[in-house]
């Protein structure tokens, strides 16, 4: 399957889920125009409380649509935007990307992957037991976080469902994703 955008979502308020929209506009160095999490410095409430001067490595949240089928098999009903993602993808193993991987999305937008989203207890507030379902185990026994990846906007542009995604791996040694 050719990597592509399945859906886009945003919310101007700090809340768990984001509303699906026809198109989002990415702004270099900030994130999704009009989204509560856009900004050069951290916008997630817990991170602001710790240090509001930290750079915002979580400007854009991307989630793979393939997770929805896995969650449905476990009895959960999850749709694009429900887990707070801005961009729902298909055809990309987001969790296996390296830090610094660049995604060319649609005609102009460029997002650099910064790390994994760490699922939090708010997920269980959405649907009881969902947090556990978004966690797994790697072959070595370590925790696998499946709730998507975070990125920063390198070049702005509009993004909509159906847009192609081109993946550019970083050069140098492998840098597996860690939580940001």
Domain CATH number, residue 39? 2.40.33.20
- The answer as to whether 133 is a domain residue is yes
β 149-155/23-27 pair status:
unpaired
- The answer as to whether 175 is a domain residue is no
In terms of phi and psi (left: phi > 0; alpha: psi -120 to 50; beta: otherwise), the region of 71 is alpha
Q: Which helix (H) or strand (E) holds 69?
A: helix 66-73
Per this entry, what is the length of the chain? Answer: 180
Domain count, the chain: 1
Q: What is the pLDDT of residue 49?
A: 82
- The answer as to whether 173 is a domain residue is no
Which SS3 state, helix, strand or coil, does residue 49 take?
Answer: helix
Query: What is the DSSP secondary structure assignment for residue 125, as one 8-state letter?
Result: H
How confident is the model over 12-61, as pLDDT tens digits? 999 999 999 999 999 999 999 999 999 999 998 788 888 989 999 999 99
Look up the domain containing 107 and give its range.
4-168
Interatomic CA distance for residues 35 and 4, integer angstroms: 22
Q: What is the pLDDT of residue 90?
A: 98
Interatomic CA distance for residues 79 and 44, integer angstroms: 22
Q: What is the pLDDT of residue 140?
A: 94
- The answer as to whether 80 is a domain residue is yes
Q: What is the pLDDT of residue 79?
A: 97
- The answer as to whether 177 is a domain residue is no
Which residue stretches of the chain have pLDDT < 50? none
* pTM, 2 dp: 0.96
């Amino acid at each position: 399957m050719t990597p592509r955008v399945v859906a886009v979502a945003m919310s101007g308020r700090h809340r768990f889920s984001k509303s699906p929209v026809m198109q989002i506009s990415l702004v270099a160095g900030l994130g999704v125009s009009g989204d509560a999490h856009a900004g050069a410095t951290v916008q997630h409430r817990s991170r602001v409380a710790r240090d509001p001067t930290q750079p915002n490595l979580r400007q854009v949240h991307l989630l793979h649509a393939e997770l929805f089928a896995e969650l449905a098999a476990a009895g959960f009903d999850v749709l694009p935007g429900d887990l707070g993602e801005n961009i729902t993808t298909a055809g990309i193993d987001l969790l296996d990307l390296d830090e610094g991987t660049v995604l060319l999305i649609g005609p102009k937008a460029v997002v650099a992957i910064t790390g994994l989203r760490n699922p939090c207890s708010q997920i269980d507030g959405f649907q009881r037991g969902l947090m556990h379902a978004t966690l797994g185990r790697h072959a070595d026994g370590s925790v696998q976080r499946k709730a998507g990846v975070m990125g920063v906007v390198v070049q702005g542009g509009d993004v909509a469902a159906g847009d192609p995604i081109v993946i550019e791996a970083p050069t140098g040694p492998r840098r597996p994703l860690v939580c940001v």
